[in-house]
Structure 1
Amino acid sequence: MDFLDKKAIYLQIADYVCEKILLSQWPPGERIPSVRDLGVELEVNPNTVMRTYDFLQQKDIIYNKRGIGYFAADEAPARIKSFRREQFLETELPRFFRNLYLLDLRLEDIEERYKSFIETEFNANKA
């Protein structure tokens, strides 16, 4: 995984875990990779993954069954969407609108590209 400089690594890993849950690759109620396994997969220190899992437990997105492992919570998709919507609307959307204005882009142009993106990225995965 390639990490960005401007965001803490544990939060980037949290985004990765949340995306896996939202895409149903790690469904609610199912066991997710152990701290050690995810650390190996992402090539990070297990302590960083542990920090991620602690963060996600605080958000009630995952939970720990002692001695068994970590699991995606039943309400994880709804909680993730709520949390990420709030973040998007407060931080990313204002920057996006600013760029639209500064670059003199029309919403129609964005809509066409959005539809193409969804078709390419997500509908191709369903086939």
Structure 2
Amino acid sequence: MEFKDKQSIYLQIADYICEQLLLGKWPPGDRIPSVRDLAGTLEVNPNTVMRTYEYLQGKNIIFNKRGVGYFTDEQATSRIREYRKERFLDSELPEFFRTLYLLDISIEELQRRYKTFIETAYPATL
């Protein structure tokens, strides 16, 4: 995973985990990788992954079964969608609209490109 400078690494890992859940790779109620396993996969310090897991527990997206590991909450996908949708609409969408306006990109062109993107990136969902 390649990390960006604009956001804390633990939050980027949280976004990665949330994406795995939204894509159905880690279904609700299933066990997720251990702190050590995920740290090794992402090549980060286990303390960073632990911070991510604590953050996601606070959002009720994952929970810990003592001695067994971390699991996804049954309502994780709906909670993730709510949280990410709010974040997108409040902070990312205004900047996106500004860019569309400055570059004179029409909604029609955007719709066309969005449709092509979905067909290419997620063909199994159609």
TM tier, smaller = over 0.9
1:99 aligns with 2:86: no
Return closer, same or farther for 1:126/1:78 CA change in 2, 3 Å cut-off: closer
Pairwise CA RMSD: 1.1
Instruction: List, as ranges, runs of 4+ consecutive aligned residues in structure 1 with deviation greater than 6 Å.
Output: none
Structure-1 residue corresponding to 2:37: 37
SS in 2 for 1:71: strand
Unaligned runs of 5+ in 2: none
Structure 2: distance between partners of 1:88 and 1:126: 22
Q: TM-score scaled to structure 1, two decimals?
A: 0.97
AA aligned to 1:13 is I
The 5 A counterparts of 1:1-127 are 1-123=1-123, 125=124
- CA distance in structure 2 between the partners assigned to 1:31 and 1:8 by the alignment: 25
Alpha-carbon distance in structure 2 between the residues aligned to 1:59 and 1:126: 27
Q: How many residues align?
A: 126
Give the secondary structure class of the aligned counterpart of 1:63. strand
CA distance in 2, matches of 1:12, 1:55: 12
Deviations 1:88-114 (A, max 9, x none): 000000000000110011000000000
Which one-letter code corresponds to 1:69 in the other structure? G
Shift of 1:52: 0.2
CA offsets per residue over residues 46-102 of structure 1, 9 Å max, x none?
000000000000000000000000000000000000000000000000000000110
Q: TM-score, normalization: structure 2? A: 0.98
